[in-house]
Amino acid sequence: MRFVRQHAKTAAKIIVVLAIVFAVRYAFMSGIIDRTDLQRMLDRAGLLAVPGFILMMAAAIMVFVPAWIFIGSASIAFGARWGAVYSMLGALVGTSAAFLLGRYLASDFAERQRQRRLRHINEWLDANGIVLTLCARLVFYCHSAFNYAASVTSVTFRDYAIGTFVGLLPGIILFSSVFDVLVRADSLVDLLTHPALILLWSLRIGGGMLFSLLVKRSSERKRAERGYLLGIHKQ
């Protein structure tokens, strides 16, 4: 039953993604959305367009709005290259603000959890904070839940920020490219077989595999240390 439930969730996500792809493509192909009109709107916004977008994306990330909506919008409005740059800035501001807010608001709760339930996790995070955050970003991107969850662990803001930057950079570049191709490709086949989309999913799968490998090695190391200590105790 659990197996069926997990696959049902995966299938639902795929259906939602495909529905969005078809909807966006139809909107551009039918003229409902026009890039020229978008450019005019940006021109009217003037100097406020870029900082306004960055702040809106940052705020959205903090309140659990999916970041890919803004990454796609930036790619369409500003172009793949600059859209990726502005999305990266918005993502960094949003994920950092969420982490710092969570750490400030839940400082007492976090301290209690670090001393009890999170003690073993924190021992691993002290040595692998950057790698853990990097892997999580490859899999979950800007997921708001991870931003707040990380804030109650012992991972330092420095490790969190570095891992977030390195982990988000390739995904945002590729996602921005995918949306640019979405409105330019001659057919959906060209989109679905585009290298950027394939690389995007490969990164996500690779991040998940790397995370699983690190957890497995950490568990094996703990078991080995426990066995060594038991051996000493028996002697």
What is the per-residue pLDDT across 7-39, written as a single tens digit (0 to 9) for each? Answer: 566 566 556 655 655 565 555 556 555 556 556
| 153-171: average pLDDT | 89
Residue 94 lies in a domain: yes
Q: Provide the domain limits for residue 129.
A: 53-234
Confidence of residue 92 (pLDDT cuts 50, 70, 90): very high
CA distance 93 to 88: 9
| 61-81: average pLDDT | 85
| Nearest Cα residue to 50 out of 95, 93, 92, 89 | 89
Q: Determine contact, residues 72/179, Cβ cutoff 8 Å.
A: yes
3-class state of residue 81 by DSSP: helix
Residue 68 lies in a domain: yes
Residue 100 lies in a domain: yes
Number of domain units in the chain: 1
What pLDDT is stored for residue 165 in this prediction? 94
Q: Supply the pTM of this predicted model.
A: 0.71
Q: Which amino acid is at 58?
A: A
Least trusted range by pLDDT, from 103-107, 116-120, 159-163, 170-174: 116-120
Crossing angle of helices 144-151/119-140, nearest 10°? 160
Please give the C-alpha separations between residue 212 and each of 136, 175, 215, in angstroms, as whole numbers: 11, 24, 5
What pLDDT is stored for residue 43 in this prediction? 66
Angle of CA points 56, 88, 35, to nearest 5°? 65
Residue 213 lies in a domain: yes
What pLDDT is stored for residue 162 in this prediction? 93
Residue 153 lies in a domain: yes
Residue 45 lies in a domain: no
Residue 8 lies in a domain: no
- Sequence-ordered alpha helix ranges (H) in 185-194: 188-192
Q: Determine contact, residues 99/66, Cβ cutoff 8 Å.
A: no
The average confidence (pLDDT) of the chain is 74
Give yes or no for residue 40 having a pLDDT over 60: yes
Q: Assign residue 79 a region (left: φ > 0; alpha: ψ between -120 and 50; beta: otherwise).
A: left
